[in-house]
Amino acid sequence: MSSQSQPQQQGNHKNLEEEKEEEENHLLQAECESIPLSSPHVTPSNWEHAYKEEEEEEKDTVYAAKDKVQIFDLESSGGGGSTAVPPFSWRKLWLFTGPGLLMSVAFLDPGNLEGDLQAGAIAGYSLLWLLMWSTIMGLVIQLLSARLGVATGRHLAELCREEYSNWARLVLWILAELALIAADIQEVIGSAIAFKILSHGLIPIWAGVVITATDCFFFLFLENYGVRKLEGVFAVFIGTMGLSFAWMFLDTKPSEEELLMGLLIPRLSSKTLRQAVEIVGCVITPHNVFLHSALVQSRDIDIRNKGQVQEALNYYSIESSVALLVTLVINLCVITVFARVFYGTEQANGIGLVNAGQYLEERYGGGLFPILYIWGIGLLAAGQSSTITGTYAGQFITEGFLKLNIKKWLRALITRSCAIVPTMICAIAFNTSESSLDTLNEWLNVVQAIQIPFALIPLLTLVSKEEVMGSFRIGPMVEKVAWSVAVLVILVYGYMLLDFFMDEVDGVLFGFLVFLGALAWISFIIYLVQHSGAIPSIMVRSPNSRGFFSLSGN
């Protein structure tokens, strides 16, 4: 009996080993299934390699798995094919609130504030309607950016790297970096002006630039204590801006009737056309399109679970809409304050960030707290917050296009240095007069205007592709609306460029170079549109595609 039981025991031992091996493979397979569907195809033969590769890449991503905010528990996560969307929850909305705050800061940066105050001083209340509709157009673009990030688990720069050929990808990256540097210069100098105002001139512009460059790292360091801590800092910044500009609004007492008429009745004249173009140009910024698609990945979402993806899109749509509503109110306050104080005055055409506070002080200097310092505090909050998001966007753009596997702190140092060096040069070179800073601001707006088509067109190309978005590609109606918004924005920026260079072109050589640049700009836009397949897609797409919220496709 013992001779028969020995082979039997060996057989049982062998079966146990096989079962253990199968269980280990099953666990490995389950872990590999957490790899995003947008990753290269994973087969059973390369599960282990793919898992190790994903684990290695996660070490250097901006949002590692341990840093993400946990939303869904195991019981509610469901299977990979689950399409059920749970009922609305205030708790979940609170957990999803944050990325929209960081995104909305681009609607309140110092460049926007300067556009607001000049629009109010020169055009009065007449362009408030355009600000409202521009914010709505900006919301459409930002919702698409968030949709791309949630549905694919990747951000715009990463997807552009795979979507386009090497030369096109290189051009897109260079243009994105130049636009980011231009925006960062405006933001840092805006903060430096605020430091000068609040220190009563003791801190010069160049010193304010240095302070802003260094304290940016301090605020980014807060992310080590959790994403929610950094988002809380931004809530404080936006709250500070809201309180400051609301205080100015109450101090100056703009006309409520004119404000309401400005919102509801479209008015535009040849004298205010330039300010109208600037309002549209300030609201939709290229680096913010890249930024939002990455920020939404700070929440732990299983992109294989359609119910989770749809629920996340719903909550992100709500929080983004509320965040941009707040920015609209703040921008309205700034425009109406300067419309009330400076519209129709001799100072209207010469007002800017540098002298705006002093002019306000001359008119409304009394009171419990001088309006000059209220303006300075609001400007400082705008500059500081937008500088941090600019650094954030730089990290995503650089890592996405170049696939740099470096530590977060080193990536932040590189992207910060790329912007701060030209900012220091500009601060020293252009800090000779208020007019020179205004000239610098115009050139920086031109750089961003050049880039905007090369952020919008790739975004719309990707969110319209089923192979990228799966069942969450946008529907034909949303696609038409989105392309209409993009065309309108590109035309506005094109008019801005034409108007600027018509004034600035002097000499045959410079004119020829501008002509070649314009030809290259238009040619690259045509290439991107042809690559997108947008025109035939819009014409023949079936109605059974998903809109912003629809899961059923009806």
pLDDT at 301 over 70: yes
Which pTM was predicted?
0.82
CATH code for the domain in which residue 109 is found: 1.10.4160.10
Alpha-carbon distances, residue 496 vs 320, 355, 449, 493 (angstroms): 28, 25, 8, 5
Helix (H, G, I), strand (E, B) or coil at 425: helix
Tell me whether residue 394 is in a domain.
yes
Confidence of residue 300 (pLDDT cuts 50, 70, 90): confident
Other Cβ atoms closer than 10 A to 522: 12
Residue 442 forms part of a structural domain = yes
495 in a domain, yes or no?
A: no
What domain range is 189 assigned to?
90-450
List helix spans (H) across 471-544: 476-504, 508-532, 534-540
CA-to-CA dists, residue 208 to 159, 195, 197, 205, 380, angstroms: 37, 6, 10, 5, 10
Whether 472 maps to a domain, the answer reads no
The total domain count for the chain is: 1
Q: Is 70 helix (H, G, I), strand (E, B) or coil?
A: strand
Residues 6+ apart with CB under 8 A from 121: 338, 339, 341, 342, 343, 345, 347, 348, 349, 351
| DSSP state, residue 153 | S
Residue located via tokens 């990228």: 468
Query: Is residue 168 pLDDT above 90, yes or no?
Result: yes
230 assigned to some structural domain: yes
Is residue 553 predicted with pLDDT exceeding 60? no
- CB atoms closer than 10 angstroms to residue 76: 14
Q: What whole-number distance in Å separates Cα of residue 387 and Cα of residue 392?
A: 9
As a whole-number percent, the residues of the chain with pLDDT over 90 amount to: 31
Crossing angle between the packed helical segments 156-163 and 371-402, to the nearest 10 degrees = 30
Q: What is the 3-state secondary structure (H, E, C) of 443-486?
A: HHHHHHHHHCHHHHHHHHHHHCCHHHHHHHCECHHHHHHHHHHH
Tokens 């969450």 found at: 472
Position 242 scores a pLDDT of 92
pLDDT tens-place string over residues 247-261: 889 888 888 899 999
Q: Give dist(CA 92, CA 98) in Å, integer.
A: 12
Q: Residue 386 — very low, low, confident or very high, per pLDDT cuts 50/70/90?
A: confident
Note the pLDDT tens digit of each residue in 302-337.
888 888 899 999 999 999 999 999 999 999 999 999
d(CA 194, CA 255): 28
Residue 163 maps to a domain: yes
Does residue 434 have a pLDDT over 70? no
Q: Let me know if 263 is exposed, middle or buried by CB neighbors in 10 A (0-12, 13-18, 19+).
A: middle
Contact partners, residue 385, CB within 8 Å, separation at least 6: 105, 108, 234, 237, 238
Q: How far is CA 403 from CA 38, 67, 130, in A?
A: 16, 20, 39
Q: Please return the burial class of 418, using the count of CB atoms within 10 Å of its CB with bins 0-12, 13-18 and 19+.
A: middle
Q: Is residue 223 part of a domain?
A: yes
Q: Is residue 80 part of a domain?
A: no
By C-alpha distance, which of 546, 96, 58 is closest to 308?
A: 96
The DSSP code for 546 is B
